[in-house]
Amino acid sequence: MSQAQSVSPLILTLVAGGFTTFGVVLKMGYDALAERRASKKEGLDRFANERREAYEQFLEAIKKQLVADKALYALAEAHHKEGKTDMSDEEKDAFPPSGMADLVAALERIRRLARSYTVIRPAEAILRLSLDMTRCLRATLSDPGPNDEITWFLLQRFLEERIDEFVHGYREDLGIGQPVGAPKKWPVAQREFPLGLDLAQSEEILRAHIPIKILPKPSDASADGHETKSSASGAADA
């Protein structure tokens, strides 16, 4: 028997052992991958119903606040035509309830439950814009200015952009994804802002032009000269 023939059984044994080891390693890798996928699915399902409920609660609060804001805008327009700046008791009683308290509560719940910051970021921006809208409308009602309509228009567009971002993050966080055939970041629209600014920077610039305090007109000022303070908390007081 030649030397090559005497070594062949050993080689065959080593090769067979190598294939067995490779098969074991491959099986271990497959099991680890399957376990990782199961863990990921479990993570997506965890508190999914609570998250969905929180997101829907937030969207309902947005709708409620928008109804109040639009009613305040309509009231401001009517007052401009009549030359009034104060709300009557009848108008206050008929005024839609504010959704600001619901919006704040829903945001706090989202912060506790959300898995992704893509939901939290637009939700926080929506709350800031809602406060901006209320401040803008209060100022418009008490002391109308030439840029009120432009400010109101821009705030509405910014809010729409943020709501689209929230819906996108909502679907991503719950593992729903985009509808078949939809663009990658649907329903977020890819827009260009002036001077190369992004949405957040545009919001900050507009926010800086919304008055925080509404000072009394000279004819309405009290004898002691004290300033009257506007409510920054929004239509919740209405």
**Shared domain check, 110 and 38:** no
Lowest pLDDT segment from 4-13, 44-53, 89-98: 4-13
* CA dist., res. 146 & res. 139, Å (int): 12
Q: How confident is the model at residue 151 (pLDDT cuts 50, 70, 90)?
A: very high
Residue ranges making up the domain that contains 26? 1-46
Q: What's the pLDDT at 187?
A: 79
Q: Is the pLDDT of residue 53 over 80?
A: yes
Tens of pLDDT, residues 19-35 = 576 666 666 666 556 55
Q: What's the pLDDT at 226?
A: 41
Number of domain units in the chain: 2
Q: Is the pLDDT of residue 177 over 90?
A: no
Residues 6 or more apart whose Cβ sits within 8 Å of residue 77: none
Q: Is the pLDDT of residue 42 over 70?
A: no
**Shared domain check, 68 and 31:** no
Residues 6 or more apart whose Cβ sits within 8 Å of residue 62: 99, 103, 126, 130, 163
**Shared domain check, 73 and 16:** no
**Shared domain check, 141 and 26:** no
Tokens at 196, concatenated: 């190369």
**Shared domain check, 85 and 37:** no
**Shared domain check, 230 and 142:** yes
**Shared domain check, 102 and 157:** yes
**Shared domain check, 145 and 62:** yes
Q: What's the pLDDT at 225?
A: 41
**Shared domain check, 102 and 201:** yes
**Shared domain check, 212 and 186:** yes
**Shared domain check, 92 and 32:** no
pTM above 0.75, yes or no: no
